[in-house]
Copies of this chain bind each other. A is one copy, B any other.
Amino acid sequence: MTELGRLYGLGIGPGDPELLTLKAHRILTSVPVIAYPTLENGKVLARAIVADFIRPDQIEIPMPLPFSVERSSQPYYDIAAENLAKHLSAGQDVAVLCEGEPMLYGSFMYLFQRLAGRFPTEVVPGISSTMASAAMLGVPITFHDDVLSIVPATLDAVTLRDRLAGVDAAVIIKLGRHFAKVRTILDELGLLDRALYIERATQPNHGLLPLPKSIQQTFPTGL
């Protein structure tokens, strides 16, 4: 009987290929099969981050996903999981590339839910963009007994204001087209002077600026 392959959820960090861990690099360069999400809008950041490490003899499995991760994306994960299961059943180890940290807002969790009960599975933690952003900004996030809140800007305005009121420290993610809403709320809460903006942290085309100056700027992407 063939031994089952091992499924890896491989955290590959926020964008700089040097922010892969030694472990992620070892696994990435030794597995026969590499899988990664591809979005309908053509974005394939995960593969681009590690492009220089992938060899021609490794099998690549692009996994098409809808741009918006809503309920309707579940059939896509069903298909992707079955595709990976074929390789795992045949004894091939499979590494799924995960931008940032797999367990934090990552699409790998949907594959994990479908496959971890059937195949040996290991999650390799990665550098989250929330942490890399603080490093690039040169701003300590939390001291002593500060509470850190990681808050998606996709929340409705009332909930978002509630979650940001009285925080010690917050990292607001998934900004995208929610920038104006977030800026208004931070202004109302008197937090605007403490806010800093960074986009595409650790990628070559990253940008930083203090938030108060940014109202006249254009922000093509969120964190």
Interface residues of A (CB under 8 A from B): 9, 11, 13, 16-23, 25-26, 69, 101-106, 109, 112-113, 116, 121, 123-128, 131-132, 134-136, 138-152, 154-155, 163, 174
CB atoms of A152 and B141 under 8 A apart: no
What's the nearest-Cβ distance from chain B to residue A146, in Å? Answer: 7
Q: Indicate if the CB atoms of B128 and A147 lie closer than 8 Å.
A: no
Complex contacts, A143 vs chain B, CB 8 Å: 105, 109
Q: Shortest Cβ distance from A73 into chain B, in angstroms? A: 11
Of B116, B131, B152, which is within 8 A of A145 by CB?
B152
Query: With A18-B26, A131-B128 as given contacts, are A103 and B149 in contact (CB-CB < 8 Å)?
Result: no
**Nearest 4 A/B pairs, CB to CB:** A18-B23, A109-B140, A103-B134, A123-B135
B125 & A126 in contact (Cβ 8 Å cutoff) = no
A112 near B127 (CB under 8 angstroms)? no
Q: Are A22 and B20 in contact (CB under 8 A)?
A: yes
Question: Which residues in B have their C-beta under 8 angstroms from that of A163?
Answer: 147
Contact yes or no, B69 A144, CB < 8 A = yes
Cα A26 to Cα B21 in complex, Å, equals 11
Q: Which residues of B contact A11 (CB under 8 A)?
A: 131, 135
> What residue of chain B has the Cβ atom nearest to residue A20's Cβ?
B22
Residues of B within 8 A of A139 (CB): 103
Subset of 17 A-B contacts with CB under 8 Å = A16-B23, A18-B22, A18-B26, A101-B135, A103-B134, A104-B141, A104-B148, A112-B138, A125-B132, A127-B127, A144-B154, A145-B174, A146-B152, A147-B149, A147-B150, A147-B151, A150-B150
Closest to A124 in B: B135
Q: Give the complex CA separation of A81 and B22 in angstroms.
A: 30
Q: Which residues of B contact A125 (CB under 8 A)?
A: 19, 127, 131-132, 134-135
Residue pair A138, B155 in contact (C-beta under 8 Å): no
* Cα distance A215–B34 in the bound complex, in angstroms: 43
How many angstroms from the CA of A22 to the CA of B49 in the assembled complex? 13
A127 CA to B103 CA, complexed, in Å: 13
CB nearest to A174 among chain B residues:
B145
Contact assessment for B138 and A123 in the assembled complex, using a CB-CB cutoff below 8 Å = yes
